[in-house]
Chains A and B, each alone.
Chain A
Amino acid sequence: MSAVAAKPQAGGAMNPTAMAVGVVMLVIILALCWYVSPGAGLMALVGVIIGGVLIGFGTHFVPVGGAPAAMGQAPGIATGVAMLAAGAGLAGLFGGAWAAEQGLVIATLTGGVGGGLMMAITCMMVNFVYVFGMGIPAASGKVANDPITGDSQKEFKSQGTEGHGLPFVSFVGGVIGGFLGGAGGTLIYYQLLKLYEATLPTMIGVPLVQVMPIAIAAAGMFAVGLFLVNAVLTAYNITGTIEGPHDPKFKRWPRAIVASAVASALCGLVAILIVVPM
């Protein structure tokens, strides 16, 4: 059997039973969190879940080309979903972490702008390389006309390829995806940081200023871990490549929302348990 024919046949079908089990798991984890830490912990967990869902949903917008894109045979950026999502999200996380002192809204938006900016630069440079380096125009293989500009795609698409380069809609999708991912990552970091700032001094028994490095490092590490888990789960949902919001695979997002919510709730609960007295 050739490697091409052996691509995963996951398809877009939903599994209602598993989705229901996922929602039940989510409720159980929320109840557990309410039991161990009813106030601040539960609020932080809700924030973490929202952040995780933003990451999972946002990743679907990012144009991922994988190995075919590196050979100019498929549209998108020539690397995997997990790497792109991690790149955009971590760029946003670093941006948002600087603004953490200025409150939830500014920090989250700064994170979003950081992630969006990173994706915008990446998309632009990718198109530079495609157009001026490889000499291929941008053309989508999934739609006849670009949904935003209305430009016809068929004339520019080479035979035997699924399209190539980065059409305008993919560029816009990449920026939206980077924004959502960066904002989600920062939201997770911010929620955990505030929780640790409030609980770590009493837990270790020293002033806040002395344990601030631990609060920042632990919140950052958990945010990175949660980000990678969500990004890889979304990558499993997309299975390979996606062109952007106009791709038929984009319709799989409800599965990723449930998956990200459960995974974020689980990992978030563990992150909260670290400051719960045992």
Chain B
Amino acid sequence: MSDVDVALRARETPAGGLWRSLLAVLLPILIVAMELGVYFIEPRVLSAGNLRNILIQSSYLVLFASAQMVVILTRGFDLSLGASVSAISVASALVMTGLDAGDAAPWIVVAAGLVTGLGFGFLVGLFNGGFISWLGINPFVVTLGSLNICLGLATTMSGGRPVFNVPDPFSSLLYNGKLIPGVPVPVMLAAAVCILLYFLLDHTVFGRALYLIGNNPRAALLAGLPSRRYLLVAYILGALLAAFGALMLTARTGSGEPNLGGSLMLESIAAAVIGGVSLQGGVGGVIPVILGSLFITMMSNAMNLLRIDGYIQQILLGVIIIAAIFLDRIRSTRA
């Protein structure tokens, strides 16, 4: 292993401190600049009501972006994110409306809904993680497969139509309850998840292992870290986070939607990568996820206020994705 090889491989290491801190400051500046810019065209954007809206809206994205981050840390990917959200929404709604119709006690109905949702998420994570960690199959293909499976399940179970009448206790638990006056429930839940995730990533062996596995899977293996087990857990964790987000969204819409996932997959990836999670693996955290989610949500919010066509927003999302990966590439080649 000559120095030439060492030098040539140095290109593969993550960005130098200066550049990374530059980019960390860049995003908040961009956010502020964007909001100010839009303000001049549409003053409503900085109203209390709209800001509150943004906070609530980004709470959901924070959950989904965290789910992506957890697997991207390990050099993986979850393309099934949106589809699994749809399937979970439909499944839990079906269970709850079914039990509700049978006059079960409200807390049993809600509990059943939660268990169904999280259980489904667990299974998706198990499927993905199992094939990826144990058989070493390309995460893209596995999650592409599970994407289709979830999509099929969502449309089959729902018959193609929304499942209405999700019970009120469920909605108030996860959406419009008044636990802490003035603080919307989604924001509270997202904040709680962020705190837990931060603790997990920075203060547990599992979290440390995720970063090490993402940075160099071979080295992690040699050092005796149970890489395969942790990888499986990472996919399950990601799926559970997404499941929780799905339940929160279902509470908000009040129905099980077979299209709830929609563009969530792309949005969650865009949010994570823009915020600073590196696609090469081993780089990321809660703060990048929060920043990225805020950015994407604000952009979407601004475009809605400016009455920009939904289809154009989809195009823009694609452009953002390409810009984000370009940015990520630059970040990771500054050794």
- A and B bound? no
Query: What is B's interface to A at a CB cutoff of 8 Å?
Result: none
